[in-house]
Structure 1
Amino acid sequence: KYCKIYNKFGKCHKGSKCPDLHDPEKVSVCTRFLRGSCTITNCPFSHKVTKDKMPTCIHYLRGMCVRVNCPYNHVNVGQSAEICRDFLAGHCSMGDQCKKKHILVCPDFSQTGSCFLANNCPMRHVRRKQKRSENSFKNRSPGNVASKKDVR
Structure 2
Amino acid sequence: MSCPSGGTGEVPTILHVIHFNVVSGIMPLSVKRAIIMNRRFVRQICPDYVKMGSCESADNCPLRHDSNYLRICPKFLQNICLLGEQRCPLAHVLDPCRIPQCVYFTKGTCSRSGCNFLHIKYPHGTPACQDFLIGRCEKGSCCKKRHIWRGELDLSKTEKSKSVPQSVTKNEDIAKESEQLGSLRNAKVVPDFIPFHISDD
Check whether TM > 0.5: yes
Tell me, yes or no, if structure 1 residue 79 matches structure 2 residue 142.
Answer: no
- Structure 1, unmatched stretches of 5+, are 115-126, 129-152
Which residue in the other structure is 1:98 paired with? 143
**In 1, are the aligned partners of 2:69 and 2:134 still within 8 Å (CA)?**
no
Alpha carbons of structure 1 residues 82 and 26: separation in structure 2 relative to 1, 3 Å:
same
The structure where helix makes up a greater share of residues is 2
CA distance in 2, matches of 1:45, 1:6: 9
User: Counterparts in 2 of 1:41-120, with a 5 A limit?
Assistant: 42-58=87-103, 60-61=105-106, 70-104=115-149, 105-111=151-157, 113-114=160-161
Matched letter for residue 45 of structure 2: Y
Q: Deviations over 1:82-107 (max 9, x none)?
A: 23354344323332222222234543
Q: Which residue of 73, 84, 97 maps to 1:30? A: 73
Tell me, yes or no, if structure 1 residue 7 matches structure 2 residue 53.
Answer: no
- Identity score, percent: 34
Q: Which has the larger radius of gyration?
A: 2
Task: Give the number of equivalent residue pairs.
Answer: 116
**In 1, are the aligned partners of 2:131 and 2:137 still within 8 Å (CA)?**
yes
CA distance in 2, matches of 1:106, 1:84: 13
Cα RMSD of the aligned pairs, angstroms, is 2.9
**In 2, are the aligned partners of 1:85 and 1:107 still within 8 Å (CA)?**
no
Tell me the secondary structure at the aligned position of residue 25 of structure 1: helix
**In 1, are the aligned partners of 2:71 and 2:91 still within 8 Å (CA)?**
yes
**In 2, are the aligned partners of 1:29 and 1:53 still within 8 Å (CA)?**
yes
Q: Which moved more, 1:37-46 or 1:68-77?
A: 68-77
- Structure 2, unmatched stretches of 5+, are 1-43, 164-201
